[in-house]
Structures are given as C-alpha cells and as structure tokens.
Structure 1
C-alpha cells in the first residue's frame, strides 16, 4: 500500500497530505465511497456539516473500525463549522452534531467553513422570500475564540479556517491564543493561489486544496464553461508522464507542499486518484502548470455577496 506523505502542523501534529473529499457526494453513495477509500489506503476524510452526509460517513467509519481495517487513531477526520453557527454560543452545538453524526468522540481538525455568517436558529441556507441570503453580522474573530474552547475541551485536536483571505487570516492571528493550523481553499492551476499559499506558509499555516480537479460536477457550472481536465496543455503533460490529467493535477499539489482532497464516489477513480505516489513532476512542469492561472475561481459563494466578510470581493488574495 502506498505511503501517503504527512505534513507537520504548527501544533506538532501531522496531517496526511492526501485525502478523500465528500462535498457533493450524494446520500446513498458516500458510505460506499468512504469504505472503498479506506480499503484502498486513504487515511484522511474531509467532511462538513453543510454537506448533509456526515451520518453516512460515520456509518462507513464504524464499519471499518468493526472490521479491524483501521482504528480511530489511524484516520484523520476533518469537519467544518457552518455559517449559521458562527455565534459563539452555537459553535460547540455544531461540532457536537457533527461528532454525533460521525460517531466519533473527537475530530482531528475543525475549520470555520467560510468567514461569512448567516442568520442563526433556522434553515442551513436561510434565504428570504426573494431568494436573498439572510446574513448575521457575527464577527469571525469572536467565532474563533469559541473554536479555541473546542480544543481545550478535547472535541477537536486542531482548528483552522477555510476560504479566508490574507487580511482575514491576519485578523485571526492578531487575537489567536491557538493559531489556525490550516487554511482550506479552492486551488488548481486555473486558480493557483501562489500568493496566499506563500503568505500562509510565512505564518506557519498549511494549505489544503479543495476542488483540485476543477470541480467539473459543481452544481452551478454552465455549458461552455472551461473544463480544466479537458485543457489540451494539461493533456499533453499527462501523455508525457503516462498518467491521467487528474493524476497530474493531484501530483501538482503534493509537489507544491499543498494537502489535497479530491472527491469521488466511483471506486475506479478513488483508486486512480491514489496512484500518484510513484512519480514527481519536474520543477519546470510545476512552473508551467502555474502559468495556467487565470484567476479562474469556480466556487465564488455568490449567496454571500454583499456580506462585509465576503472573502473574494475586495481583497487581492
């Protein structure tokens, strides 16, 4: 079985540099996907309350614990605080729902899913009658202080953020008594995040890339949108290395020192995505992939536009 590299976090713990993403994995599919991934050798599962499938992920983990394939300490499980739970008194409530659904006593990593807060105490996606998202104006800095309490209570070993820009990270770092270990962001050659990655590293924060394959199944994709995996330049590289375009994209992140979590529910793809530990990209080819960057953001959180903490509206990165 391939040995997945591990990356050291700023609190001394380690994260497997490769894992299985579960965003958009439909109920009825994700349990089998997680079981297959664990059998193949994945030891890092990325979840979130908002994905609505944590009970199934939990069922898969329970099955693999019972079979003796893995023990709890063998697997790194991430989840995320949802936007309607940013109010400090709700933070612990949200992680406890997640832990209950996953059937776990603790998480390895808990992230603030977005810096943007939505109206509390109702729907997960609280749209008004006109289809506009109802916001809450809780400051994520106050949310962060409540996240720190979760570590002290042993509910999660590490905490971090997702979709935060440079200025937002700086605000967190200015008050943190427990530093974020991770910033999980959209990252692929069309949005290579070089500046943000360099900034995070300068502060001891590891970056996780989501949608590393360009999220071809994103629900809001329009016909005619560019498809990263169909890019002829990428396909030429795949031919050169005798690998698939997806394998080139995943190796690109690993060779840059970025954790990556491709999502799939297809066993053959879960297997193929894992077959990336027998080659490296040359420095020249990594630099070449970097030139694909066109600020091609595929996950812009349009529902959150207009919120004062929207991460992509004003700031450069």
Structure 2
C-alpha cells in the first residue's frame, strides 16, 4: 500500500482511505472495514451524525460500527470523525459543544483518542479562533491527535491555521466537483495542509454503474441531488461515457481512472471513496496502479473540463 503524508504535522495514512457514512451497522460492514484494513487501507472516516439512528435524532451510530470493527486492531488504523452539525441549531463550534461532542465520540467509538478530529461545518456564530483554540486544548489533553476542518472557505482555513496547525481539510472533490481548485487547493499546498476529498466518484455517478434514474432505489438520498435529475442526469451520463471510454483504453475502470486523476493532483491528497462492499474497495485500490502521463491528464481535461457537470452539487435546501 502506498502511503501519503497528510499535512505537515506527521500524520501518515494510506493513499486511499475509506468513507463509512453509508454503511449499516451490521456484520457485513464489519467485514468490509476489516477487509479494507487487510488490504492496507489505514484511514477510516466517520462522523457523529452518520448512521441510521440520525433520523431519530440520535448521534453516534456509524461511530459505533467503526469502533466495533476496529476494536481489536486499533493501532493499525487512523480514525477520523467530525462534530458540528446539529439537527435543529445549525452548525455548532462553541467550546461547550465541542467538549461534549468529543467525549460522546470517544464513547461511541470505544477509544481513548481520536486521530483526526474535524469541525464538520463552520459555525457562523462562533469565531473560528475560539473553535480551533478549544480543539487545540483537546490535543494537549490527549483526546485528539490532529485537527481538521470540513467544507471551510479559504479565509477560515487561514485564520484557523494561525491558531493551531490544521492537518487536513475535507471537502468534495472529483472530476465533476472542482471548485476546490480555485482557492482552497493552492492555499493548502502553501500551508502544508492535506486535502481529503469526499465523494471522489461523484456520489457513484463517475463509476459508470448508474445508467438510468431508475437504477437508484426509491429511498436513495441521491434522488434529491440536482445532478441526478432530469436533463442534468442525461448530460452527465454523456461525460461519464467519455470517461468510461478512456478508462477502457487505459485498461482500468472508470472509478479507477477518476481516483487516479485525483491522486495526480497533489501528493497531499488522500481521497476517501465510500462503499459498503469489499469488492468495491478492491477495485478502488486498483487506482494506485494506474499511471497517468501528461498526455492522459490533458485528455481527461478535454473530456471532463472544470465545470462540466450539469446541476449544482447540493440540493437547494
């Protein structure tokens, strides 16, 4: 397994991580997590709000799964989790909330420390200096090792990093979500901060496995996303077809090509594709064997230029 430095504070992880958000808390998911670990994946991403219990206003369901799966192999894994999204109060980042959240996550995960702790969304009512200052206290207390931010704008990252070194920023980044290239990615390279792209395969669209709207289950959350709707869906399928064609020429899958492209955007980038299935983990790891020449990268830019995706990346609400 190839390793990468995530940030400049010493955290080293596998070049690809595993997002666990969509995993149900069952034995199949435990086998997928442990199978990924056996294959060399060391970074596992969760959050306090992930899990089936969230609909009932209960936090920690997915954290319980991750903690249970990795309990006997804790020292082999880098566990990342997040706080800061609430059911009714919007993003939270005040000291009292952070201290309550970290203790709850430690309990749900069944661990003594969290390797990488993210603020999930920036709290507009709490100065980022206060939030990160509190997180820095957690580092001193040994409850967390490294600090991260999720979906934070450039000015917030800069202010946060002045309080305590930020190890990683997590945000959406893929062949059809490239907004991060405008300000965030250059800033992270300048400051020595790692980038952790979530949804690196366009919420599954870029895998080529979704051919028609009916391929999505009736309760699939992607029904609400503009890129999966109406004319947007048809236009985006055309781009995926081009990516599939190039992948076939390269002797890889569309998913592997998309991940290989992401990995080529910088040595500090560690994508975390999410899946419930171990065979998909194995396929994704095949991206590490895909070599892209300057000509290949230019061709990908031609068939899937920045801004090519039809529709916004989030629902209006």
TM-score by length of 2: 0.78
Distance 1:203 1:190, change over 3 A: same
Distance 1:102 1:253, change over 3 A: same
Shift of 1:38: 1.9
Q: What are the superposed Cα offsets for residues 51-94 of structure 1, whole Å, 9 maximum, x if unpaired? A: 131111111112xx2xxxxx433211111112244221121221
Instruction: Give matches, 1:1-317, under 5 Å.
Output: 3-28=1-26, 30-52=29-51, 53-62=62-71, 65=72, 71-84=73-86, 85-116=92-123, 137-174=125-162, 176=163, 178-192=164-178, 193-195=180-182, 196-216=184-204, 218-219=221-222, 220-221=224-225, 222-224=228-230, 225-226=232-233, 227=236, 231-257=240-266, 258-290=269-301, 291-294=304-307, 296=309, 299-300=313-314, 302-303=316-317
Comparing both structures, which one devotes a greater share of its residues to helix?
A: 2
Contact 1:16 1:76 in 2 (8 A): no
Runs of at least 5 residues in structure 2 that lack an aligned partner in the other structure: 52-61, 87-91, 205-219
Q: What are the superposed Cα offsets for residues 210-233 of structure 1, whole Å, 9 maximum, x if unpaired? A: 100001365323433445796122
The CA distance in 2 between the partners of 1:266 and 1:173, in whole Å, is 36
The CA distance in 2 between the partners of 1:47 and 1:302, in whole Å, is 25
Higher mean alpha-carbon deviation, 287-296 vs 154-163, is at: 287-296
Runs of at least 5 residues in structure 1 that lack an aligned partner in the other structure: 66-70, 118-136, 304-317
The CA distance in 1 between the partners of 2:240 and 2:100, in whole Å, is 44
Distance 1:260 1:24, change over 3 A: same
The CA distance in 2 between the partners of 1:294 and 1:218, in whole Å, is 23
Distance 1:50 1:248, change over 3 A: same
Task: Give the 3-state SS of the residue equivalent to 1:36 in structure 2.
Answer: helix
Contact 1:212 1:260 in 2 (8 A): yes
Shift of 1:33: 2.6
The CA distance in 1 between the partners of 2:188 and 2:262, in whole Å, is 15
Q: What are the superposed Cα offsets for residues 95-148 of structure 1, whole Å, 9 maximum, x if unpaired? A: 12111111111111111111146xxxxxxxxxxxxxxxxxxx233332111111
Task: Give the 3-state SS of the residue equivalent to 2:104 in structure 1.
Answer: helix
The CA distance in 2 between the partners of 1:45 and 1:23, in whole Å, is 10
Shift of 1:170: 2.2
Task: Give the 3-state SS of the residue equivalent to 1:51 in structure 2.
Answer: coil
Aligned length: 273
CA RMSD of aligned residues (A): 2.3
TM-score by length of 1: 0.78
Distance 1:167 1:295, change over 3 A: farther
The CA distance in 1 between the partners of 2:175 and 2:93, in whole Å, is 32
Contact 1:214 1:228 in 2 (8 A): no
The CA distance in 1 between the partners of 2:315 and 2:141, in whole Å, is 32
